[in-house]
Amino acid sequence: MKLEPLALQVERRILFIRQQRVLLDYDLASLYGVETRALKQAVRRNRERFPEDFMFTLSREETDALVSQSVIPGLGKLGGAAPYAFTEQGVAMLSSVLRSPRAVQVNIAVMRAFVRLRQLLLSNADLARKLAELEQKYDAQFKVVFEAIRQLMTPPAPKPKREIGFHIKEDTVPYRTRRPFPK
Using DSSP bridges, classify how beta strands 20-24 and 55-57 pair: parallel, antiparallel or unpaired. Answer: unpaired
Q: What is the CA radius of gyration of the chain?
A: 26
Q: Please answer whether residues 28 and 39 qualify as being in contact, where contact means their C-beta atoms are separated by less than 8 angstroms.
A: yes
CATH class of 3-117: alpha beta
| Per-residue b or e along 92-107, where b marks 16 or more CB atoms closer than 10 Å to that residue's CB | ebbeeebeeeebebbb
Three-state secondary-structure class, residue 54: coil
Q: Give one word for 5, left, alpha or beta, with left for phi > 0 and alpha for psi -120 to 50.
A: alpha
| Digitized pLDDT (tens) for each residue of the chain, 183 residues in all | 444 566 677 777 888 888 888 888 888 888 888 888 888 888 999 889 888 888 999 888 888 887 777 666 666 666 667 889 998 888 888 877 877 777 777 777 777 777 777 777 667 777 777 767 766 666 555 666 667 777 777 776 777 777 777 766 766 655 656 666 666
Question: What per-residue confidence (pLDDT) applies to 183?
Answer: 63
Element (H, E) at 24: strand 20-24
| Rounded Cα–Cα distance for residues 55 and 49 (Å) | 10
Q: What is the reported pLDDT for 134?
A: 67
As separate numbers, helices (DSSP H) first and strands (DSSP E) second, the chain gives: 7, 4
Pair 70, 55: CB distance under 8 Å:
no
- Element containing residue 111 per DSSP (H, E): helix 101-137
Specify the pLDDT at position 56: 92
Q: Are 85 and 24 in contact (CB under 8 A)?
A: yes
Instruction: Give pTM, 2 decimals.
Output: 0.56
